[in-house]
Amino acid sequence: MKKRFVAVWFHHLETDWFIVRQPALRTVPFVLAVKDHGRLVITAASTRAEEQGIRKGMVVADARMLLPSLEVLDHIPGLHEKLLFKLAEWCIRFSPCIAIDAPDGLIFDATGCAYLWGGDIDYLSTIIKRLNGRGYQVRVGMADTIGAAWAIARYGRSSPVIEPGMQSTVLLPLPPASLRIEQELVERLYKLGLHQIKDFISMPQSSLRRRFGHAFLQRLHQALGNEPEFIEPVQPVEPYQERLPCLEPIVTLAGIEIALQQLLDNLCKRLELEQKGIRTLRLQCHRVDDRILTVGIGTNQPSRNREHLFKLFENKLPTIEPASGIELFLLEAVKVQDHSPVQEKLWEKRSGLQDTPLAELLDRYTDRFGAHCFYRYLPDEHYWPERSIRLSQSLEEPVTTAWRKDVPRPLHLLPQPQPIQVTAPIPDYPPMLFRYKGQLHKIVKADGPERIEQEWWITEGEHRDYYCVEDEKGQRFWLFRAGHYEADKTVGWFLHGFFA
């Protein structure tokens, strides 16, 4: 698809902002000024002031000679940068790739966007109308190149749309300043009688480069499309993003669901062609009042199952408040992974964590109850029980060491052993009874001891002698004694787990 760009020029960016904040200024000629070497110099003039011959760069004292009633306001440093950044973020509803064109413009990569608004003219008309509604006067241009779009937005006198491949023809009658070159170079061209691009476009390139420099020739080639030019968007474009602008604002839950289903269908088709699956997905809803509402989901395994992904969103869609309406939906696959279909044998099925229905069930639990509603543990290479397991980072993380099955282990292991009071007939024998949390347990059966030492490079703590015991109610516990029995000190006993 051939590239198309839109240039937006804000005639009076800063003064328009003041008028939005103070509507009374709309009918008053005013300027913004800053002190420079003891005098006030105009940095921006309103439309009313420009109609009286007042221009940027004039000294305020000279301007008041022309218009004594001129109102002067303080220039705010850095205002135009902040305004352009906010406007660029707001304009993402028109294109996913928008860059700032300092000091008074924006550049859209509008490739493939115009058809969503019914064509180039309707697309530009919508942009102008919406920005005018926000209080900003704008001119726009659309062309195959950034340079041509910039030129037609500022110097064009007819249609704001340059048809594909026609930029060289449309640029011919425009002045040299439309090439985005330095003012000093523009003045040199005028002195030589070169008042329009057509006056020098056919000259030998070597002559143009020798007389006007490489930068001049580069700007000319960029405008004509002979040299590529790139923009740096204010927000990086997600490689897997689907957009759905709305001709009329969406205000119902049913409308949001229909939009999401359409976006999921388009995104999953793309991912299917590239053999990828979604791990993290984010839906952004841009409201008419400029608020952006965001909801997201995650999956335990790569997925492009539309129905499953929609179900994960279902519980979160009612939290989206459309208010006066949603005019743009953005669906972004923030994290994707390779996902190739695996052929299963007729007599075998994938089981365990590789089972797709199980993974989707876990996704639904996670979506409803939170990311920490379930855990997966893996064996770790340590002797002490509380260190012999670790929390897995994902369902796909492989097991690096085998679970120990040659000796009994409790189903519920306490994170840290709890001290208990024990009565034992002989120090090396299992206890007859113990007290835990104020409750007395009489032991009727016991098995052990099983001695568990630390690793040789770890010296903290003593060895442990573990016993599996059962009380008179049939409850089974995992107890241990820490260290050797000695007559001159009290031996520590601990409860470390519960058997089913």
How many CB atoms are closer than 10 A to CB 483? Answer: 13
Q: Which residue has the higher pLDDT, 381 or 120?
A: 120
Question: What token pair was written down for 450?
Answer: 């099983």
Return the minimum-mean-pLDDT range out of 186-195, 252-261, 332-341: 332-341
pLDDT at 73 over 90: yes
Contact by Cβ (8 Å): 100, 59: no
State the pLDDT confidence band at 348, using cuts at 50, 70 and 90.
Answer: very low
Angle, in degrees to the nearest 10, between helices 13-21 and 79-90: 80
Is residue 31 within 8 Å of 72, Cβ to Cβ? yes
What is the pLDDT, as a whole number, of residue 459?
67
pLDDT(458) > 80: no
Strands 30-36 and 71-74 come out as parallel
Question: Which amino acid is it at 265?
Answer: D
Going from N- to C-terminal start, the domains of the chain cover 1-237, 241-367, 412-498
Residue 462 has pLDDT above 90, yes or no: no
Q: Judge contact between 323 and 289, C-beta under 8 A.
A: yes
Using alpha carbons only, what angle is made at residue 416 by residues 411 and 421, rounded to the nearest 5 degrees? 95
137-166 pLDDT per residue, tens = 999 999 999 999 999 999 998 889 999 999
> Higher pLDDT residue, 155 or 457?
155
Report pLDDT for 455: 79
Comparing 372 with 21, the larger pLDDT belongs to 21
d(CA 106, CA 323): 29
Average pLDDT over the chain, rounded to whole?
87
Q: What pLDDT was estimated at residue 345?
A: 45
Q: What is the pLDDT of residue 297?
A: 87
**Phi-psi sector, 217: left (phi>0), alpha (psi -120 to 50), beta:** alpha
Q: How far apart are alpha carbons 7 and 106 in whole angstroms? A: 6
Among 126-130, 276-280, 476-480, whose mean pLDDT is lowest? 276-280
The CATH label, of 3.90.180.10, 3.40.50.720, 3.30.1490.100, 3.40.50.300, for the domain at 241-367 is 3.30.1490.100
The full length of the chain comes to 500
First vs last Cα of the chain: how many Å apart?
65
The answer to pTM > 0.85 is no
